[in-house]
């Protein structure tokens, strides 16, 4: 993408904007967008420079989507997961769509995540940190810049934040105005989620009733019904004891997405009034992808300046040296909870590749939260052209992840899932044995296949069994010494 044009006063548009004071008071805390564009960058849209400058300035005048204090709270929770005192459940759509910003779809997605967290909390006997892949996951990296159908070649679909899904030249144009649509869709999603999680929708008893209904289906393993019955007795005991605290009716829920689009993430960066430090207010947690984790790249440079908790995706080619190099760029002070390493090895490679990665990072003394993404390494295409995943392969990678951490005596800190609360037919297998014939019935994703609600709940019970077995053996280390106060 071309650098932004200079404004009429000789200043860049971000400086000339009427909202420039958001960053202008402390420009040394974050590089300019012009400087970022001059650095190596990948997977970025190709915009008209003047049009993009106008949109960036408009975004910078809009309110933050999340607040710095919320990001700090999440960082503290992730620090607990890094110390073996919490477990992270991160999940949601592969790629959100603007049409998907509907109350029923958001409610269904939230309900399946919260229902999963009930099972995992009981099994792990530690808090479950609930993070959605939502309110910002509107862009996706692509392996090819173009798509060809017949004799027609057009730009690839890169998510609703960049272009449209329809295979037309007009829809596939990279349109910066879509960044404003992304902001509005994210704001609407967050508003609804906040209302749900604080308004009684997250009541443990209601969520468990949904789980109990699921496990009574004849397709589901008897062991899962046993776990559900144990949770029911525990809830009944608390009710009999008069426990009716807000903690049973409300939860903390955080939003995350891949920090892919430089213009958007830069425009959403704000200076916290408490600390005078920059935060990316597009989400509580943002992550750097497997394709964009170059230590000298523009995305890493931007995230090295913001104070959100950060994720780093690591594929099977990643070494401990790779992980430490980018972690040192993003977190030289080794702040607890700052870094989450999200591994995506594939079922066939996780036991071969993960041990050296974990051992190397742990030997450095750096404390991170280890999270398994069992989705992205297990994708394939059927003869009829459906991009899908085998539920069994997802389970196999998760089991490999738990096995490696059990062998090394380290804590499996969480899971990162692509899922939906709807009854889609996008991934094969599971208790209801979806086959290739079923894929055409409700294949609704615009990008990668997602677990449906039944597969997601089944996965939660499977993970619960592993956590329940492991926590009896695992002794968390002593809490680390308090880190230096970022605020001085």
Report whether 81 contacts 206 (CB < 8 A). no
Got the DSSP string for 349-390? THHHHHHHHHHHHHHTT---EEEE--SGGGEEE-TTS-EEEB
Q: Any known ligand binding at 144?
A: no
Backbone angles phi, psi at 276, to 5 degrees: 60, 30
CA atoms of 457 and 461, how far apart (whole Å): 7
Q: Any known ligand binding at 216?
A: no
Q: Any known ligand binding at 225?
A: no
Q: Any known ligand binding at 313?
A: yes
Q: Any known ligand binding at 448?
A: yes
β-strand pairing of 285-288 with 310-314: parallel
Q: Any known ligand binding at 270?
A: no
How many Cβ atoms sit within 10 Å of the Cβ of residue 311? 28
Radius of gyration of the chain measured on its C-alpha atoms: 22
How many Cβ atoms sit within 10 Å of the Cβ of residue 438? 14
CA atoms of 463 and 352, how far apart (whole Å): 21
CA atoms of 176 and 263, how far apart (whole Å): 9
> C-alpha angle 355/358/352, rounded to 5°?
20
Can you list the alpha helix ranges (DSSP code H) found in 364-475?
Answer: 391-408, 453-471
Q: Any known ligand binding at 381?
A: no
Residue with tokens 């086959």: 435
Q: Any known ligand binding at 133?
A: yes
Q: Any known ligand binding at 194?
A: no
Residues of each annotated binding site for phosphoenolpyruvate: 133, 290-291, 313, 344
Residues of each annotated binding site for Mn(2+): 94, 376, 418, 448
Residues of each annotated binding site: 94, 133, 290-291, 313, 344, 376, 418, 448
């Amino acid at each position: 993408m071309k650098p932004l044009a200079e404004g009429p006063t000789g200043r860049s548009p971000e400086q000339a904007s009427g909202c420039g004071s958001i960053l202008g008071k402390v420009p040394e805390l974050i590089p300019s967008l012009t400087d970022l564009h001059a650095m190596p960058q990948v997977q970025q849209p190709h915009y008209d420079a003047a049009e993009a400058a106008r949109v960036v300035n408009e975004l910078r005048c809009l309110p933050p989507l999340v607040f710095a204090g919320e990001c700090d709270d999440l960082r503290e929770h992730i620090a607990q997961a890094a110390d073996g005192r919490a477990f992270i459940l991160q999940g949601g759509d592969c790629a959100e769509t603007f049409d998907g910003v509907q109350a029923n779809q958001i409610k269904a997605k939230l309900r399946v995540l919260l229902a999963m967290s009930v099972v995992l909390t009981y099994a792990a006997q530690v808090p479950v940190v609930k993070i959605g892949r939502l309110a910002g996951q509107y862009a996706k990296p692509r392996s090819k810049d173009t798509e060809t159908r017949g004799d027609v070649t057009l730009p690839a679909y890169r998510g609703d934040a960049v272009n449209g899904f329809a295979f037309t030249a007009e829809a596939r144009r990279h349109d910066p105005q879509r960044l404003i649509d992304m902001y509005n869709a994210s704001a609407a999603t967050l508003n609804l989620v906040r209302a749900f999680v604080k308004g009684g929708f997250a009541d443990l008893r209601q969520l468990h009733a949904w789980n109990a209904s699921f496990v009574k289906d004849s397709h589901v393993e008897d062991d899962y019904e046993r776990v559900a019955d144990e949770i029911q007795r525990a809830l009944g005991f608390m009710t009999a004891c008069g426990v009716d605290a807000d903690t049973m009716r409300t939860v903390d829920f955080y939003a995350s997405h891949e920090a892919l689009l430089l213009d958007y993430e830069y425009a959403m960066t704000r200076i916290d009034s408490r600390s005078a430090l920059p935060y990316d207010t597009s989400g509580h947690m943002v992550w750097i992808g497997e394709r964009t984790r170059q230590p000298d790249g523009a995305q890493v440079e931007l995230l090295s300046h913001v104070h959100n908790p950060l994720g780093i995706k690591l594929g099977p080619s990643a070494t401990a040296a790779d992980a430490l190099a980018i972690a040192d760029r993003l977190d030289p002070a080794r702040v607890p909870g700052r870094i989450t390493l999200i591994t995506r090895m594939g079922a066939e490679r996780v036991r071969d590749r993960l041990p050296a990665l974990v051992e190397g990072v742990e030997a450095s003394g750096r404390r991170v939260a280890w999270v398994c993404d069992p989705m992205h390494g297990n994708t394939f295409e059927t003869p009829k052209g459906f991009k899908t995943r085998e539920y069994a392969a997802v389970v196999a990678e998760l089991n490999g992840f738990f096995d490696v951490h059990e062998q090394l005596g380290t804590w499996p800190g969480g899971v990162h899932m692509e899922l939906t609360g709807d009854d889609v037919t996008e991934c094969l297998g599971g208790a209801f044995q979806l086959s290739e014939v079923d894929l055409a019935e409700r294949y609704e994703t615009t990008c990668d296949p997602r677990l449906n609600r039944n597969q997601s709940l089944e996965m939660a019970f499977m993970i619960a069994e592993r956590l329940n077995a492991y926590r009896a053996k695992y002794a968390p280390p002593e809490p680390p010494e308090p880190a230096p106060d970022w605020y001085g």
